[in-house]
Structure 1
């Protein structure tokens, strides 16, 4: 019964294409600049993995925003845009890095430079001439760009580091897009994304998801009103989120089980487990 769950219409507004591409590309370039700035001024190579992950997921978030502004309801389009932005982020940060290296002075050793200056002309030249960029990468690989335990990292090991970096920067946005904006409920009637709200009341933990789904399939919404008493302080419960748009007779709901489990230190850790997601209903829920 796939029709009982939200499924994106697949629509790609012409205007939305321009809005999404421009927005996503601008955000991507800005994040790439921030990425290089962090790498340049934070001389801790062990943090590079987290900085790269930050860039990757930041680009993914940028695509999420861009898809929302463009009102794109096509998951394949979002995935392709995420891949393009990932490639743009990887390429533009390299172009910026190489342009800064060409202006760098005062070596600190191991590929760290005391100072440099941004040259827009030089950056644009490298950005628009891939062959120059790749030649520079070969030279940098031979010389090394950082040290590890007082040894300059170059050659095969440095290529491996760069490949891992590229996989993170390009792959993270694509991973982010799998549950991106285009998968969220959209009101075709009102031409807008549905508003999301979570009921303040807590539902009893759903112990039999299949039974709840069967009841909802039959039109029985009783399980969605099985709230815990207001004075119940239990750490285990379920939440109900509603997606709706004014005047649209169709809305969607998601139910998530929330539990708190003690870790080895005895501290409670919150765990969430989706029960149902984007189930279609036509009956008002307050």
Structure 2
């Protein structure tokens, strides 16, 4: 018997339709916002952040649709997320080419920046949206001529293709990761609800040998988990995470991670985490014991 949580693979028709339809609608809205923002903001560094934001927000939408729709099939959700991400990429190209077609006067702001005014024609956009062959055939010509510059140096050819590839990767990878991860999270089939994530506040001694820790816990040797004494200052240290369903006491899973605090040259600290194990099923009694030893949260019913 597998000791770790395994998604049931179940889906709901409403959840599936909501994921695809609302994801596609969100992709259109985000594509418009993204293209207009990058068109009128002539700063490459800001445009990079906008691209990351495009992928992140689309991923968030698909993550929420996975949760609300109770989709417990990571493989299917992952493929659908890739399809929505590809759709978002295609729509933003249709929007951009529409603006390019309506481009008019260029206004220069100094010798380094310029903004080209444009108009949006819905008929042109809809025509491009239904003609992927036409959209794709225009990309080589745009790549050859270049469409923007960095400090008066026009970006074109192979370099521009790399930029487009990175943009496509962001729109595919971000949605896939967050949607797939959510679909693989513990779910109580008995209660029909996702397990809640509880990070136990009491740190544990670090787990330098992940395989040894996994072997010990799989054999129910819970003494392998030791709370870090208050007077100890350890870096790295261990963190316990419990995933429990409020209305199903048998739905209790344990995750462990090592946490390292890193300090940069400016004295700013940040956390770096490394998974040790994920979603090991534990009994209700062990769940209560771990709460008592490592946390002050309420003991699950």
Which TM-score applies when normalising by structure 1?
Answer: 0.84
Cα deviation, residue 16, structure 1 = 1.6
* Cα offset, 1:145, TM superposition: 1.1
Which residue does 1:241 correspond to in 2? 241
Q: Residue in 2 aligned with 1:274?
A: 275
Match for residue 228 of structure 1?
228
Q: Which runs of 5+ in 1 are unaligned?
A: none
Q: Does 1:253 align with 2:254?
A: yes
Residues 123, 193 of structure 1: CA spacing in aligned structure 2 closer, same or farther, 3 A cutoff? same
Residue 183 of structure 1 is matched in structure 2 by 184
**In the alignment, structure 1 residue 116 sits paired with structure 2 residue 118:** yes
Kindly tell me: are residues 155 and 111 of structure 1, through their superposed partners in 2, closer, same or farther at Cα, counting changes over 3 Å?
farther
What is the Cα deviation at residue 150 of structure 1? 2.5
Residues 190-199 or 257-266, more deviating: 257-266
Which piece of structure 1 moves more, 266-275 or 19-28?
266-275
Q: 1:136 to 1:210 in 2, by over 3 A?
A: closer
SS in 2 for 1:202: coil
Alpha-carbon deviation of 1:76? 1.1
For 1:33 and 1:14, the matched residues in 2 are separated by 29
Matches for 1:1-286 after TM superposition, within 5 Å: 3-108=2-107, 113-177=115-179, 180-224=181-225, 226-230=226-230, 232-248=232-248, 249-261=250-262, 268-283=269-284, 284-285=287-288, 286=291
Residues 1:138 and 1:259: Cα distance change in structure 2 (over 3 Å): closer
Q: Is the 8 A contact 1:111 1:145 kept in 2?
A: no
Aligned residue for 2:105, secondary structure, equals strand
Indicate conservation of the 8 Å contact 1:204/1:228, yes or no. yes
User: Does the 8 Å CA contact 2:42/2:113 hold for their aligned counterparts?
Assistant: no
User: Does the C-alpha gap of structure 1 residues 268 and 35 become closer, same or farther in structure 2, counting only changes over 3 Å?
Assistant: same
- Distance in structure 2 (CA, Å) of the matches to 1:124 and 1:223: 62
Instruction: Answer yes or no: is the 8 Å Cα contact 1:104–1:113 preserved in 2.
Output: no
Partner Cα separation in structure 2 for residue 229 and residue 162 of structure 1: 51
Shift of 1:65: 1.8
Q: Secondary structure at the match of 2:72?
A: coil
- Shift of the alpha carbon at 1:193? 0.8
Aligned residues: 283
| Shift in Å, 1:53 | 3.1
Q: Deviations over 1:181-213 (max 9, x none)?
A: 111111111111111111122222234444433
Residue aligned with 1:277, SS: strand
Indicate conservation of the 8 Å contact 1:28/1:62, yes or no: no
Contact 2:56 2:175 in 1 (8 A): yes
Distance 1:45 1:246 in 2: 47
Larger displacement relative to structure 2 (109-118 or 240-249)? 109-118
CA distance 1:232–1:158, shift in 2 (3 Å): closer
The 1-side partners of 2:158 and 2:234 are apart by 55
Q: Is the 8 A contact 1:63 1:78 kept in 2?
A: no
Say which is worse superposed, 204-213 or 237-246, in terms of deviation: 204-213
In 2, distance between residues paired with 1:91 and 1:31?
12
Does the CA-based 8 Å contact 1:105-1:113 persist in structure 2? no
SS of the equivalent of 1:9 reads: coil
Q: Distance in 1 between matches of 2:153 and 2:222?
A: 65
Q: Distance in 2 between matches of 1:254 and 1:204?
A: 15
Deviation for aligned residue 1:123: 2.2
2: CA distance, partners of 1:127 / 1:192 = 39
